[in-house]
Structure 1
Amino acid sequence: MANFLTLNGKRALVTAGTKGAGAATVELFRELGAKVLTTARSRPEGLPEAFFIAADLTTGEGCAKVAEAAHQRLGGVDIIVHMLGGSSAPAGGFAALTDDQWQTELDLNLLPAVRLDRQLVPGMVEQGGGVVVHVSSIQRVLPLPESTTAYAAAKAALSTYSKALSKEVSPRGVRVVRVAPGWIETEAAVRYAQRLADQAGTDYEGGKKIIMQALGGIPLGRPAKPEEVASLIAFLASDRAAAITGAEYVIDGGTVPTS
Structure 2
Amino acid sequence: MHLHSLFFEFDFATPVNVMSAIVMIVLAILTSTLTTKVKQHEAFKAESEKERMRANLLRAVSHDLRTPLTTIYSSASALADNRENLSIQQQDEILNAIKEDSEWLVSMVENLLSITKLGTGNVKINKKPVVLEELIDSVIFKFKKRYPSHDVIIDIPGDIVMIPMDAMLIEQVIINLLENAVQHATGMKHLWLSVFVIGNNAVFEIKDDGCGVSDEAMKSMFSGAYVSKASVPDGNRNNAGIGLSVCETIIKAHGGDISASNSMNKGAVFRFTLGMEEN
TM range (shorter): under 0.3
Larger % of helix: which?
2
Name the TM-score, length of structure 1 as normaliser. Answer: 0.24
Name the TM-score, length of structure 2 as normaliser. Answer: 0.22
Greater relative contact order structure (CA < 8 Å, 6+ sep):
1
